[in-house]
């Protein structure tokens, strides 16, 4: 597997659009490439492709975030640029080339990873393909700069809804300004500290952020409703319900809190797992995964999993990926 071949394969995949919910063309392409190369591959339904028969699973998602004027891809002297180059078409290229070379892994390609957790195709695939649940280890090939990232943080998405009473902005004392009420809740979030949590010898950081805000009726109207989007990342060892209670306890007096997505954290697999031992024996660094990844889905299915893949996490989802 040469760098030239990998770069070419990555560019090929980048140039096939596959934003979330629009991955069918890429899935068909990957399935055809594998079959044309003599690899035993199957359409596993719901946009998933499964190939190979080795014990260890290599897993990667087809979808990308929306395009940001970064497709088609391009190549410089030492890097491939374009939508999904780091997250995670470079990894898909590695999986394809390993399969074509006859490397003894089980390859799992799936859609809708970039969407809310309850839309993921992987959990459904693991439910209907019991053979995947027998793997000694699943390697989720998220970008890790070739280090071994263990576990993952949980990911809550919530709406903060402030209600008031509309009125004329010339007489705001006769109204109740929902934006002002929401602003007080946003200020509480802004003051919430980053919290370090130690779990199985690794340090994860819990973080809460307001990522979107909306509201208002007109320039001369005091608004009666305003909303913000809250994102909360919580460490392994914190339960789903415990993480939700942190938000409610912090914000309930200020606004209505509506949690609409809660992707569970992923546990750190034991370092005594035989495959993990082999990977660590190669001199790889053992670090926490400060993001949510499908290792959590594998863990819920009873499979130890780690994150390990090409690409630098700092370039994921960026315009200059």
Q: Catalogue the active-site residues.
A: 63, 113
CA 80 to chain centre: 21
Facing residues of 233 across strands?
155, 207
Cβ-based burial of 260 (10 A; exposed 0-12, middle 13-18, buried ≥19): exposed
CA angle at residue 234 from 230 to 235, to 5 degrees? 170
Give the C-alpha separation, 47 to 33, whole Å: 16
Radius of gyration of the chain (CA): 22
Give the C-alpha separation, 239 to 267, whole Å: 11
Backbone φ and ψ for 183, nearest 5 degrees, come out as: -60, -35
Q: Which two tokens stand for residue 21?
A: 């919910």
Facing residues of 214 across strands?
227
Give the CA dihedral 312, 314, 318, 319, nearest 10 degrees: -70
Residue showing tokens 């590695």? 94
Give the C-alpha separation, 73 to 2, whole Å: 19
Facing residues of 155 across strands?
233, 263
CA 233 to chain centre: 12
């Amino acid at each position: 597997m040469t760098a030239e071949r990998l770069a070419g394969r990555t560019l090929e995949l980048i140039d096939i659009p596959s934003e979330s919910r629009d991955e069918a063309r890429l899935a068909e392409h990957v399935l055809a490439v594998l079959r044309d190369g003599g690899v035993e591959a199957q359409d596993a339904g719901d946009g998933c492709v499964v190939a190979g028969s080795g014990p260890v699973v290599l897993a990667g998602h087809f979808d990308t975030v929306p395009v940001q004027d970064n497709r088609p891809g391009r190549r410089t002297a030492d890097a491939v640029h374009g939508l999904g180059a780091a997250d995670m078409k470079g990894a898909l290229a590695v999986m394809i080339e390993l399969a074509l070379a006859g490397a003894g892994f089980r390859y799992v390609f799936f859609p809708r990873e970039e969407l809310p957790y309850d839309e993921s195709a992987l959990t459904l695939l693991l439910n209907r393909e019991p053979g995947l649940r027998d793997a000694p280890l699943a390697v989720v090939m998220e970008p890790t700069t070739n280090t071994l990232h263990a576990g993952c943080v949980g990911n809550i998405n919530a709406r903060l809804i402030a209600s008031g009473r509309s009125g004329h902005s010339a007489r705001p004392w006769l109204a109740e300004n929902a934006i002002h009420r929401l602003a007080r809740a946003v200020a509480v979030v802004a003051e919430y500290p980053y919290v370090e949590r130690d779990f199985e010898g690794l340090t994860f950081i819990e973080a809460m952020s307001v990522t979107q805000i909306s509201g208002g009726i007109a320039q001369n109207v005091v608004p009666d409703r305003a909303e913000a989007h809250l994102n909360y990342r919580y460490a392994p060892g914190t339960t789903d319900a415990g993480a939700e209670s942190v938000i409610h306890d912090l914000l309930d007096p200020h606004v209505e809190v509506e949690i609409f997505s809660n992707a569970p954290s992923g546990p750190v697999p034991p370092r005594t797992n035989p495959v993990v031992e082999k990977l660590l024996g190669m001199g790889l660094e053992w670090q926490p995964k400060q993001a949510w990844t499908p290792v959590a889905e594998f863990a819920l299915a009873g499979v130890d999993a780690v994150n390990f893949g090409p690409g630098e996490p700092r370039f994921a989802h960026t315009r200059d990926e």
